[in-house]
């Protein structure tokens, strides 16, 4: 799914940070009743912050509210486990993701110039300071 959504694939260790991050990395998945994976998120819960590392929805299932529902559950779980804020990075041109994150209470606070490759693009750093 990573390759279909992002154009490349990092693999499990690339997403979670491997064994050293085993205690902080969490994978959440959305599946059909048949078991087919339709979306996932990888987050790192570090102290009292949630770092949203990756969110992907299978292209055939996009624009159906799956990412919103998944992230609402992830944020609620993180809050219940002591997180008080959440952060993420997103391509500056990813209007759909920015709209979703804004609906979820995230705000742009900084820019990482030329962070992304293929094509080279800035990353916006978003925060939701109160969960």
Nearest to 27 by CA among 52, 62, 59: 52
- Measure the CA–CA gap between 44 and 17, rounded to whole angstroms: 9
Has 89 been annotated as catalytic? yes
Decide if 117 is catalytic: no
Q: Are strands 49-57 and 85-91 parallel, antiparallel or unpaired?
A: parallel
Bridge partners (DSSP) of residue 86 are 50, 128
Of 49, 77, 89, 121, catalytic: 89
Catalytic residues: 89, 101
């Amino acid at each position: 799914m990573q390759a279909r959504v992002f154009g490349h694939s990092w693999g499990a260790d690339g997403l979670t940070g491997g064994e050293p991050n085993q205690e902080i990395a969490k994978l959440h998945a959305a599946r059909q009743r048949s078991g087919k994976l339709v979306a996932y998120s990888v987050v790192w819960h570090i102290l009292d912050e949630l770092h949203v590392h990756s969110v992907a929805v299978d292209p055939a299932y996009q624009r159906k509210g799956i990412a919103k529902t998944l992230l609402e559950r992830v944020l609620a779980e993180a809050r219940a486990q002591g997180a008080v804020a959440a952060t993420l990075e997103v391509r500056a041109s990813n209007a759909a993701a920015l709209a979703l994150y804004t609906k979820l209470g995230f705000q742009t606070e900084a820019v990482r110039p030329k962070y992304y490759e293929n094509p080279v693009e800035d990353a916006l750093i978003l925060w939701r300071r109160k969960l």
